[in-house]
Structure 1
Amino acid sequence: MTSPPTEAELIDGCLRGRQLAQKLLYEKYAGKMMAVCMRYAQTTFEAEDVLQEGFLTVFRTLANFRRECPLEFWIRRIMVNAALRQHRRNASLVAVSDGDYPETLASEEFTLSNYNFQELLEMVQELAPRYRMVFNLYAIEGYTHKEIGELLGVTEGTSKSQYSRARVILQTKLERLGTPTRHVS
């Protein structure tokens, strides 16, 4: 029994056009990247589209990977960018409705860390697309509001406002479930 190929061997195999290396690279990262795509998409179908587009970009641009960071980080960035492109394509198709959510977040912060992942994912997916993008980019990916503004073509203040609204909406959804409010970032 042979050991699985190293990251460097996978990259080199892909660069040589070896289909087995491409298959192994895809299998190694597809699950984690699907989780990334699901946070940005409203449906599994949309997330699968983003994943597919992202991996096409990975294989098309792998020669540009300088190996200065783990391959997984580089692929993750590509998936986020693929999700942003999908969002831009669909942005004009989606009307934003704030419904009956409160305007401001209560003084007590809330946390998402102790909740079921699937329930949280569903709540995040229900956010209006712009709120979902900003929430994911800031709270999960760690972008600054300035960077988010540049990525989405909005001001830094708009990014902050949309992040705040996303948090309010998520808190309201949690309260409607009868879940006690907790502290969070």
Structure 2
Amino acid sequence: MNRLLSHAVGHLSGKFRTATDAEKRRFMMVFRDCDTGSNGYLSREDLKMAVVTLFGYKPSKYEADQMMKGCEGSEGITETQFLSLMSSKLAAQDRDEEIRQIFMTFDTHCRGFVTVDDLHRAFSEVAPRIPRHRVDTLFKEVDRDGDGRVSYRDFEFMMKYSLDDGF
């Protein structure tokens, strides 16, 4: 079930590196999911949704402009361009900072913990096609003490160790 979270927020294994084949496949899956018109390219809004899905944050206008560079005169970002952009972005990510950003994206009320409602809200925005019962199951797996809350420490542990174990 942690694959579900991996799909939504990504999985890193180092500070500066190249994308693995599995990550490239995930990039392509996100590309297809975010290609709302199924036309083979991502519009500016589609691209923003893809970045949220993969990295857990909405890119600024400046960042979106930078990513869209080279697409002038075309409809948007092609699959090949997207793969290159996301691979570069992944290589520049700091794993601990990424985990903090992802947690803050889920913790919309800045309480220091995530509830199942927070998770539903986040998944409805970044991966709306994922059924609610799958999100519920994921939450139950991460909420090991069953108190209805996932602390940052539990979230970080899951992101660093559970995903590394191949879940």
TM-score (ref. length: structure 2): 0.29
Give the structure with the larger strand fraction.
2
Give the structure with the larger helix fraction.
1
Look at both structures and tell me which one has the larger radius of gyration over its CA atoms: 1
Structure scoring higher RCO (CA < 8 A, sep ≥ 6) equals 2
